[in-house]
Chain A
């Protein structure tokens, strides 16, 4: 049960961290729980479907179906995050002002919440399908239903707890900086996911590696350690990144930052607005 719980925890952790950032980024939006919840449900269903078709996916496109599938969903998540981050950079400040003024949730308006629903669904689907495959193996090798259920409960509970910890930690950020902070977190998250996508495309031999490992920082922090895994999800930390991964990371980060600057634009008049105290 403990072994099962540990594996489930490691996978749930990655999804939970992403969901927490999304939940923080949608702070103050009415019915956001429904959106995020829907994303989680869609992700769980997707995970079961993907695990069920794991054979077919793996054999597809002469054996690189798994890599192409992973790269595609990761890049889809990157686009969705980028869209939302750029949108928020132009609307975040008025949203924060509005929230302070009304003192309650604001309606989502034209906000691309569906983009974040997809991000949540993808995060849950990717980690969830591994859990489903693993649990299927456990069940097939004779693990009792009680041990499996206990493992799931333990893993999910711990993973979700870490997610909540991150969420409430983020809530500690003063409202003035809150949305720019979550926006930068989303930018780093997207860059990290893009780097992971590049990793899969290198693995599939679709893209050249441009150097298998540009550096090796595994003596400081390994990818498999808890902190390494957490940073891997949050900011795309990789102890042994390939050159192409770094390229994807930087290009994604720069593209989103430019998008935020160009369409968001800093509004100096508003920034200088006095008496913004709550």
Chain B
């Protein structure tokens, strides 16, 4: 009986081997995202690095992606996403919404 307990762990291990991560990078400069439109593959786990090149803090936020994370000045944060369905997901910098706007294009 107890040996069956190992099955879920094996399944998890197998799943984690198959779920390859795709690393994407986004930077913030002068309170703008670069690139403002970032393309990533669908149905893949995404490791999004957000690098803040400004000296001031920013908050990476997206209701489409259900994410919010503060990135302080001259620092980088990691935001895990997905696997996502194909489509366009809007994100913005909460502290500078006039300029900090961008989209994640999943295809």
Determine which of B56, B79, B84, B95 lies in contact with A203 in the assembled complex, contact meaning CB atoms within 8 Å. Answer: B79
* Given A136-B56, A137-B73, A137-B95, 15 other A-B residues pairs in contact with their CB atoms under 8 A: A7-B95, A54-B70, A58-B71, A66-B77, A67-B69, A130-B59, A133-B72, A134-B95, A136-B57, A203-B66, A204-B80, A212-B66, A222-B63, A224-B63, A238-B66
Q: Is the interface of B mostly helix, strand, loop or mixed?
A: loop
> Would you list which residues of chain A between 184 and 243 have a CB under 8 Å from chain B?
199, 202-205, 212-213, 218, 222-224, 238-242
With contact pairs A66-B69, A202-B66 given, residues A137 and B57 touching in the complex (Cβ less than 8 Å) = yes
Q: How far is the CA of A133 from the CA of B75 in the complex (A)?
A: 14
CA of A238 to CA of B71 in the docked complex: distance in angstroms? 23
Min Cβ gap A194→B in Å is 15
Q: Which residues of A contact B (CB under 8 A)?
A: 3, 7, 54-55, 58, 63-64, 66-67, 130, 133-134, 136-138, 140-141, 199, 202-205, 212-213, 218, 222-224, 238-242
Q: Distance (Å) between the CB of A7 and the closest chain B CB?
A: 7
- A to B contact number (C-beta, < 8 Å): 72
**Which 3 residue pairs spanning A and B have beta carbons closest together?**
A137-B56, A223-B63, A205-B80
Check A133/B57 contact, CB under 8 A, given A7-B95, A203-B67.
yes
Cβ contacts under 8 Å, B69 to chain A: 58, 66-67, 203
Inter-chain contact B70/A130, CB cutoff 8 Å = yes
Choice from A55, A199, A205, A224 contacting B66 with Cβ under 8 Å? A199
Interface contact B64-A133, CB-CB below 8 Å:
no
Across the interface, A213 reaches (CB within 8 A) one of B56, B66, B72, namely: B66
Residue in B55, B58, B80, B85 whose Cβ sees the most chain A Cβ within 10 Å: B80
Provide the bound-state CA to CA distance between A3 and B72, in Å: 20
A140 to B95, CA, bound (A): 13
Contacts A3-B98, A137-B95, A212-B82 hold; do A58 and B67 have CB atoms under 8 A apart? no
- Kindly list chain B residues whose C-beta atoms are within 8 Å of the C-beta of A55: 72, 75
User: Assuming the A-B contacts A3-B98, A55-B72, A58-B75, are A240 and B57 also in contact, with contact meaning beta carbons closer than 8 angstroms in the complex?
Assistant: no
Take A212-B66, A224-B63 as given contacts and tell me if A58 and B56 are in contact as well, using a CB distance cutoff of 8 Å: no
Contact A240 B63 (CB under 8 A): yes
- Complex interface: chain A residues within 8 A of B59 (CB): 130, 133
Q: Would you give the shortest CB distance from B59 to chain A, in whole angstroms? A: 7
Residue in A closest to B57 when the chains form the complex, CB atoms: A133
Give per-residue flags for B67-99: 1 if the beta carbon is below 8 A from chain A beta carbons, else 0.
111111101011110111100000000110010
Contact of A242 among B63, B66, B77 (CB under 8 A): B66
B33 to chain A, nearest CB (A): 16
Is the Cβ of B72 less than 8 Å from the Cβ of A140? no
